[in-house]
Amino acid sequence: MTPQIAAFIVYFAAVLAIGLVFFFKSKGTGEKDYFLGGRSMGPWVTALSAQASDMSGWLLMGFPGSILAFGMGQVWIGIGLALGTAANWIFIARRLRKFSQAANDSITVPQYLSNRFLTTSPALQIICAVVFLIFFTIYVASSFVAGQKVFIQVVPQLESNPNLALLIFAAIIIVYTFLGGFKAVCWTDFFQGLMMLAALLAVPLVLVFVKDLDYSVFEAVEGGVNPLNPFAASWQDIASGLAWGLGYFGMPHIIVRFMSTKNSKVLKKSATIGIIWVVLSLGAAIAMAILGRGYAPTQALVDAGQQELVFVTLVQDIFSGPWAFVAGLLLSAIVAAAMSTADSQLLVASSSFTSDIYKPIFRKKASDKEVLWVGRIVVLVIAVVAYFIASSKSEGAATIMTLVDNAWGGFGSAFGPVIILSLFWKRFTYKGAIAGVVGGAVVDVLWMNFLTESTGIYELLPGFIAGFLFAVVVSLIDKKPSKEVEALYDLAVSSEIE
């Protein structure tokens, strides 16, 4: 057994142990505890689990790989994400925590959006749940692809059987998510967030102080413009990169963390921790990609179209020989990143189906125990579908960046405008919310399929704008909210709820 494999085994044993602990601790609890942790999360767990579930294997593979392959214009994605993270924590987090409690103690985003308008119609919950299932399955598939690629690098024997690597990775995620629910997911994400940050900071530091880099590449010019200057990017790159930040307002697996805290005051400390984490992590990923240009082994990756393996290659090359166990721990950070996103998305999609479709429509009198087990079965079903997407031979399934692009754009367009308006506009109506979700999702999908390539503009930007306009226009045409709905809004913004 190699030191890298030994490190992997230690890591996986730890996350499975967390799942088992919370499985036995949660016996006899209900769906609120399984899907939202009983609203008991503290500031550190809230912050790091939110950011770890946000970034996924994309942060260590897709993002630095895209900078290497496509240039510094891709840095604007990181800038957009940092700005979006800060705005989400500062403007959305505390307000959503208060609104979700005022709205009949909602435990899912679709449930919140329906309860916010005091409606008995299941239309919005069903629409949201369907969108969740589609885009979360794609997102989970991206995490599976990332985990598969790392497994193959650490265990070369799996190269001849990549689907086995994919199956092992998926099985580990399913077990602890299936067993432990939200608390297990949050606590594993907390430790995985620490691992990701340590790994991201370690690689560029070692490159600068230990390895010989070819600094001539940093001085090269193309047409008189330094290729390492992000401000030399096209306006499409800048606009698309900044648009990524808009996606945060509609990411269910992230904003559900805001709903899970003990009270809204906890989120003040969480915001500081979360913003610092994301700035350091994105900055380190960018630095790794830039420095990688001056390190010979990474150039061969770009030439071979395998730029997503830049972090893996650097770790295995830098931490070789007696440091191989350290390399295994650092590579576990990629697996941690992929797992921390996949587990959250599996759980949120499952909670949405059980709480927003199964219980209110098919089994209104279902017991808590029944809902829990249906939720666990849905986790399995989504994971199986994601497995087949990830194992398919299509070009899209093979690219982490493409899968994340699609899912991030879909969620941001469908839910971002609606979440913002629900928290800050008293005149917002139920029909306006439906129009915003449907309009944003449809425009996003149409733009992605027919206009992204020709315009060079990421579909999230037009999708978000369209969702916002649909929501506002339909709300203004619709009759004003009832006095009861306005009273709920006033209660949520008051100091009575913390």
Determine, yes or no, domain membership for 438.
no
How do residues 392-444 score in pLDDT, each as one tens digit? 765 544 456 677 888 899 999 999 999 999 999 999 999 999 999 999 999 99
Q: Domain for residue 479, yes or no?
A: no
d(CA 340, CA 345): 9
SS3 for the chain is CCHHHHHHHHHHHHHHHHHHHHHHHCCCCCHHHHHHHHHCECHHHHHHHHHHHHHCCHHHHHHHHHHHHHCHHHHHHHHHHHHHHHHHHHHHHHHHHHHHHHCCCCCCHHHHHHHCCCCCCCHHHHHHHHHHHHHHHHHHHHHHHHHHHHHHHHCHHHHHCHHHHHHHHHHHHHHHHHHHHHHHHHHHHHHHHHHHHHHHHHHHHHHHHCCCCCHHHHCCCECCECCCCHHHCCHHHHHHHHHHHHHHHHCHHHHHHHHCECCCCHHHHHHHHHHHHHHHHHHHHHHHHHHHCCCHHHHHHHHCCCHHHHHHHHHHHHCCHHHHHHHHHHHHHHHHHHHHHHHHHHHHHHHHHHHHHHHHHHCCCCCHHHHHHHHHHHHHHHHHHHHHHHHCCCCHHHCHHHHHHHHHHHHHHHHHHHHHHHHHCCCCCHHHHHHHHHHHHHHHHHHHHHCHHHHCCCCHHHHHHHHHHHHHHHHHHCCCCCHHHHHHHHHHHCCCCC
% of the chain residues with pLDDT over 70:
86
Is residue 270 within 8 Å of residue 190, measured between CB atoms?
A: no
d(CA 292, CA 354): 45
Does residue 480 lie in a domain region?
no
- The pLDDT score that the predictor gives to residue 446 is 95
Most confident of 134-148, 264-278, 303-317: 264-278
Can you tell me the distance from the alpha carbon of 498 to that of 485, in angstroms, rounded to the nearest whole number?
19
Residue 300's domain comprises: 3-398
* Residue 245 forms part of a structural domain: yes
Question: pLDDT tens digits for 320-352?
Answer: 778 888 888 888 877 777 776 777 778 778 877
Q: Would 403 be classed as within a structural domain?
A: no
Domain CATH code at residue 228: 1.20.1730.10
Quote the CA–CA distance of 77 and 230 in Å, as a whole number.
11
The structure tokens listed for 267 are 């989120």
In a domain, 472, yes or no: no
- Number of structural domains, the chain? 1
Beta-ladder partners of 261: 41
Q: Is 462 part of a structural domain of the chain?
A: no
Backbone conformation region of residue 64, classed left if phi is above 0, alpha if psi is from -120 to 50, else beta: alpha
Query: 186-200: per-residue pLDDT in tens?
Result: 777 788 788 888 888
115 is a domain residue: yes
Q: pLDDT tens across 13-71, in order?
A: 887 787 677 667 665 555 555 555 556 677 888 888 888 777 767 788 888 888 888 88
Q: Which residues are CB-contacts of 321 (< 8 A; sequence separation ≥ 6)?
A: none
